[in-house]
Amino acid sequence: MPNTPQQTPSQSPPLEEASATADKTVSPPIDESLASRIKAWGIALGFADVGITHADLSEYEANYFNWIGQDFHGDMEYMVRHGTKRTRPNLLEPGTQSIISVRMNYFDTQSSSAIEQLHQDQQGYVSRYALGKDYHKLLRKRLQQLAEKIADEVEGFQYRAFTDSAPVLERPIAQQAGLGFIGKNSLIIHPRAGSWFFLGELYTNLALPADVPFSKQGCGPCTACLDECPTQAIVDNQVVDARRCISYLTIEYKGSIPEDLRALIGNRIYGCDDCQLVCPWNKFTEDTLEVAFRVDSQAMPLINTLQNSTQVSASTKIKKTGHQAKHKSGNQLDQQSLLSLWHWTEADFLKKLEGSPIRRIGYAQWCRNLAVSIGNVHSADGETLMQLISALQSKQNVINDLVDEHIIWAVNRLQIQLDSAEKFETTRPGQTEQTETNASKKTRLNTLKPFIAPKYYQPKNKS
């Protein structure tokens, strides 16, 4: 799954991941070198790291159910339904003895600066993991290929592959497998790679030697993620209240966004990366080698070639991994204005976001999110404010009552700005037109809650 503060995917899909069907209760004999060979195969397939752990997650059970007991899961009832299957892998897949955990980098250093985009309040901000194609199919395919390679070597090997579509505690598994520590923002963080990566697992019937778990203490006294979270959703060390998390509100949550949180969402229309952008460990961020995760890959099929990216300059070559493909022009979701996105019809939404994880939330929720962010615009002049208000009203009574509610809220906020600004732009008889002073503009903007765009660290492009 994407290593983001949201606890689960935007929906609870059926348990339909690739799996072998034979009995897993008997582990086939293995040689001592198999674990190291599995890791080498995984790296060759494009995973940034591969680790192995046992199938005992009991030490995480109390914390998980305490989190559920405090209703921090919000409306994600599927997190309750599967009970202890999340913490006891054998209940989910009988016979599981070892778990192979993998991570795959997704951050595209060629994309527009996340910091700059968050400060451009008339642009829509999309979580970095969703700028490219949906990771589920690609990650599942690579896990399947890894499993098939193991099956070729080990008679009686049985497995089940997971890519964020079943009750699996991915982060505790990754921590136990040595892929990183769990940070205060609840994400897996690797000291040499940061946190911008996806996670996947193979539950197996092999009794493989387990790797040494990563140290559970990695953040030290740093509280950057807690301090900078726009909605203060990180309520304690490694504890996220999903009900306040912008990733949850814009992706998972289908209802009316609480009014006291709407202004804090700023221009974030799909997900939120603030706790990663501010994390000091992400100065070590690794660029993705998967072209499918790059910002301009939306309309591109998943293919495996040895071509270099055409977007990268001659002096900045991407390593040839066997998973590169020639870039095609996509939607440039890191450079779209809120107004241009608002003008998309449902047909546009479905066509332009084909293959994107954003498509899963549906057109109505997309418009709900956009309405909130348009209502948070504060840098527009009077003419632009009128354009935004007109655009919002053009979709009122068109989609559904939920969208209408957020449109009305946004229009009211923009109208407050417009009415206030007009007081400083009127021309009196015998006088030249007055312009708004910095002091008066500050007074006007203080009538609204501030747009949130904290001071982030931006990962540097690597040569």
Q: What is the mean pLDDT of residues 419-443?
A: 54
> Given this model, what pLDDT does residue 99 score?
97
Picking from 172, 201, 221, the residue at the C-terminal end of a domain is 221
Higher pLDDT, 390 or 284: 390
100 vs 54: CA distance, rounded Å: 9
371 vs 262: CA distance, rounded Å: 10
Domain count, the chain: 2
> Which SS3 state, helix, strand or coil, does residue 102 take?
strand
Domain range for residue 350?
346-425+437-452
Cβ contacts of residue 221 below 8 Å, gap of 6+?
none
CB atoms under 10 Å from CB of 29, counted, come to 10
Helix (H) or strand (E) holding 100: strand 98-105
Pair 205, 352 in one domain: no
Pair 202, 66 in one domain: yes
Proportion of the chain above pLDDT 90, given as a percent: 60
Let me know if residue 88 belongs to a domain.
Answer: yes
Let me know if residue 41 belongs to a domain.
Answer: yes
* pLDDT tens column, 293-352: 887 644 333 222 222 222 222 222 223 233 333 333 356 888 899 999 999 999 999 999
Among candidate residues 233, 195, 198, 231, the one with its CA nearest the CA of residue 214 = 195
For residues 285 and 194, the answer to whether their CB atoms sit within 8 Å is yes
Pair 39, 183 in one domain: yes
Let me know if residue 292 belongs to a domain.
Answer: no
pLDDT of residue 281 exceeding 90, the answer is yes
Let me know if residue 241 belongs to a domain.
Answer: no
* pLDDT tens column, 28-71: 666 679 999 999 999 999 999 999 999 999 889 889 989 999 88
Pair 39, 178 in one domain: yes
Q: For residue 247, what are the CA distances in angstroms to 4, 132, 232, 392?
A: 8, 17, 13, 23
Let me know if residue 156 belongs to a domain.
Answer: yes
Cβ neighbourhood burial of 15 (10 Å; 0-12, 13-18, 19+):
middle
Let me know if residue 13 belongs to a domain.
Answer: no
The span from the first CA to the last CA of the chain, in angstroms, equals 28
Let me know if residue 300 belongs to a domain.
Answer: no
> Given this model, what pLDDT does residue 5 score?
60
For residues 194 and 279, the answer to whether their CB atoms sit within 8 Å is yes
> Given this model, what pLDDT does residue 13 score?
35
Let me know if residue 337 belongs to a domain.
Answer: no
Picking from 221, 245, 277, the residue at the C-terminal end of a domain is 221
> Given this model, what pLDDT does residue 330 score?
54
Helix (H) or strand (E) holding 198: strand 197-204
Helix (H) or strand (E) holding 49: strand 49-54
User: Which entry of 164, 211, 273, 287 is annotated as an active-site residue?
Assistant: 164
pTM exceeds 0.85 = no
pLDDT of residue 436 exceeding 70, the answer is no
If pLDDT is split at 50, 70 and 90, which confidence band does 180 have? very high
Picking from 167, 202, 221, the residue at the C-terminal end of a domain is 221
Both tokens assigned to 427: 């021309």
* Torsion on CA atoms 397, 401, 403, 408, rounded to nearest 10: 70
150 vs 172: CA distance, rounded Å: 24
Per the annotation, the verdict on 236 as an active-site residue is: no
Q: CA Rg, the chain, in Å?
A: 24
